[in-house]
Amino acid sequence: MTPDIIIKGKALYTTKGAAREYGRIGCNFYTGCPHECTYCYLKRGAPSKQLGGNKVRLKACFKNEQHAAEILLNEMDKHLEACRKHGIFLSFTTDPMIEETRRLTVSAIYDAIPRIIPVWVLTKDATFIHDVPIMTALNNIYRDKRPSIHFGFTLTGHDEMEPRASTNDNRIMAMRRMNLMGFSTFASIEPVITWEAAWRLVRQTLPWCDHYKLGLRSGAKKDYYDIAESGAAIERIVRLVECFGKTIYLKESTRRLLQQYFQPGAYEAFLSHTVDMDGKRIELQTRITHELNE
């Protein structure tokens, strides 16, 4: 689906490429992320300078936090329809729940709720559940509004590769807390480091997690993932998630691998057990028709 609108604001913008698999409208207030993951995309290539490395800073286009919040309000009102339809995603340039960034994230949530704009937040931080002002603010959100706020946790099962982030176990505890409070939850199992860890994480989170995203390691050597082992592991994970009534989105990286594992017909049938980027169940018939028309 192509975006129905192009947004190029200071806080909000329409995403491109792989980022669209997380959110069609990104919301960035800060650049820089302190977690120092060994596989970090912020450190590599041309965007690395612009994205700020491990120093967290308010983007230069904002005078201060209040100014950033005002700009977001204006941009949400200007693009209300698109924001309501696609929601906003925090964040592609930092972790939106670390100490430095979480106040503005909660402020964005407070502004989105009365405008009926869904919010997706993705973090590797679990310390915010001990931040009393932040948790009080989240507790003050009416229960019936909470499902439109989605708290996601990246889980790899390999703390040693994420030296400054909360441990994976603590992230799961934070997910449980948010789920019990009535917020929607999701797990981003990406990058898959080992299939053993991915399987364990899905099993551990099933009671607390509404939705999964599964993605492979970008830039990994061609033979990093064994096709037969990976295909069987993905199949097992998808069946388990479906069995528990939860949903799963397979990112393009995962699909490319599956195309080598399954015969064409079987691949299509298998995808119909998953959902698309917008969380809609993939209809087998629709997909075949769509591909024939391409």
Taking the least distance from each CB to ligand SF4, the nearer of 35 and 213 is 35
The stretch among 34-42, 112-120, 232-240, 274-282 that binds ligand SF4 (CB under 6 A) is: 34-42
86 binds ligand SF4 (CB under 6 A): no
Taking the least distance from each CB to ligand SF4, the nearer of 55 and 281 is 55
d(CA 22, CA 235): 22
- Candidate residues 37, 175, 201, 233; the one interacting with ligand SF4 per rule CB under 6 A: 37
Q: How far is the CB of 121 from ligand SF4 (least distance, A)?
A: 13
Taking the least distance from each CB to ligand SF4, the nearer of 75 and 95 is 95
Please report, as residue ranges, which positions from 38 to 67 form the binding site for ligand SF4 (by CB under 6 A). 40, 42
The stretch among 2-10, 37-45, 170-178, 245-253 that binds ligand SF4 (CB under 6 A) is: 37-45
- Candidate residues 102, 124, 213, 246; the one interacting with ligand SF4 per rule CB under 6 A: 124
- Candidate residues 35, 171, 213, 246; the one interacting with ligand SF4 per rule CB under 6 A: 35
Q: How far is the CB of 31 from ligand SF4 (least distance, A)?
A: 10
95 binds ligand SF4 (CB under 6 A): yes
- Candidate residues 36, 99, 252, 268; the one interacting with ligand SF4 per rule CB under 6 A: 36
Q: How far is the CB of 106 from ligand SF4 (least distance, A)?
A: 19
Task: Give the footprint of ligand SF4 on this chain (CB under 6 A).
Answer: 33, 35-37, 40, 42, 95, 124
